[in-house]
Amino acid sequence: MQEHELYMRRCLELARLGMGSVSPNPMVGALLLHEGKIIAENYHQRFGGPHAEALVIEETLRKFGDRAADIFRNSTMYVSLEPCAHYGKTPPCAKLLVEHQVDEVVIACRDPFGQVNGQGIEILKKAGIRVIEGILADEALWLNRRFTTRVRHQRPYVILKWAQTADGYMAPEGGAQRWITGAEAKQLVHRWRSEEDAVLVGAKTALVDNPQLTVREWRGRNPKRILIDKQLAVSADANLFDSSVETLVFNASKTDWIGSVKYFALENFDWYLPQNILYQLYLMDIQSIIVEGGRKTLDLFIDAGLWDEARIFTSPEAWGGGIAAPVWHAASARSQLVGHDRLDSYYRIHSNNS
């Protein structure tokens, strides 16, 4: 069992390399073990591209040519998620492993997606392949918590993020702009944006801060931008509309598509607003969002119970007044220093049915 965990941990390390590139697919890593040595390893690298198992098979065929068939029959495939059983953008990996007669397959956890869950394992077992599952299952499920949330709850994984002063204020009164955290925190936020599908703000934040919501302090792709703007108060020359990345505007009156900007009019705008927005994003295959809005926008998601993580920066500086940050009573799961600021991370635990 210890040996299985060693190789599965390597699969999880490989899987993480796909963060920010494979959504709405899960992150998956795989390796092939032959006579106690890893002879090929890879990970799902981009949405629509070959899956991890297929890349490992391909690498083995390329390296060993005519010897590959015999190697497969005497090797163990380790994979961090159950091999797929259906035809999607690529053929099913379970059938690929059967085709090459891999001797044994070790799996971290089952795929929660309905067209796979247990079916990939069944294909392998029916073909006489030995299957071991449940190796580092909790870690594998945690890695793909965005994917699992989308499949089980039909909405994106929601990360709340804000910065506050030591005395609990997040913005000055009167619409002024004032930076709270240091350069290190800013860089980390840009890294986070590169890892998620979209970042969301409300109209007030867009009007006061005129943010770009792009990745500039970190190497990575820009997320989609989401704006909640009931009355379409944000002007067309705002940074959010600079055409550098797709921007989605949820409002009360306009449905249109102009260049990189998509407008979505929501009926009964003030009723179940966060639920309606998240469902629309789910239909667009957006798997995760960071909510970076002001107090009103954050409270929308907090009050509805629609959040999965909260990342809160606290500066050592006190202001003595301003707009108060959201009231937060949960116990921090992790606390660390980022430059001079403290970052507290919180995680919401869901049951499989909630």
Is 299 labelled a binding residue? Answer: no
Is 229 labelled a binding residue? Answer: no
CA triplet 18, 138, 311: central angle to 5 degrees?
A: 65
Question: Rounded CA gap, 287 and 272, in Å?
Answer: 20
Q: Active site residue: 5, 41, 53, 184, which one?
A: 53
Kindly calculate the radius of gyration of the chain based on its CA atoms and give it in whole angstroms. 23
194 contacts 351 by C-beta, under 8 angstroms: no
For residue 343, list its beta bridge partners: 313, 336
Instruction: Report which of 342, 294, 274 is spatially closest to residue 161, judged by C-alpha positions.
Output: 294
Helices 2-16, 52-64: inter-axial angle, 10-degree rounding: 100
320 contacts 328 by C-beta, under 8 angstroms: no
DSSP, res 217: S
Question: Rounded CA gap, 210 and 3, in Å?
Answer: 52
Q: To the nearest 10°, the Cα dihedral for 101, 105, 109, 113?
A: 0
Is 319 labelled a binding residue? Answer: no
Is 193 labelled a binding residue? Answer: yes
Question: Rounded CA gap, 32 and 42, in Å?
Answer: 9
Is 213 labelled a binding residue? Answer: yes
For the question of residue 53 being annotated catalytic, the response is: yes
Question: Rounded CA gap, 138 and 279, in Å?
Answer: 27
Token pair for 254: 């306009």
DSSP, res 128: T
Question: Rounded CA gap, 79 and 325, in Å?
Answer: 43
Is 14 labelled a binding residue? Answer: no
Is 179 labelled a binding residue? Answer: yes
Instruction: List, as residue ranges, the binding site for Zn(2+).
Output: 51, 84, 93
Instruction: List, as residue ranges, the binding site.
Output: 51, 84, 93, 163, 179, 193, 205, 209, 213, 216, 292
Instruction: List, as residue ranges, the binding site for NADP(+).
Output: 163, 179, 205, 209
Residue positions annotated with a catalytic role: 53
Instruction: List, as residue ranges, the binding site for substrate.
Output: 193, 213, 216, 292
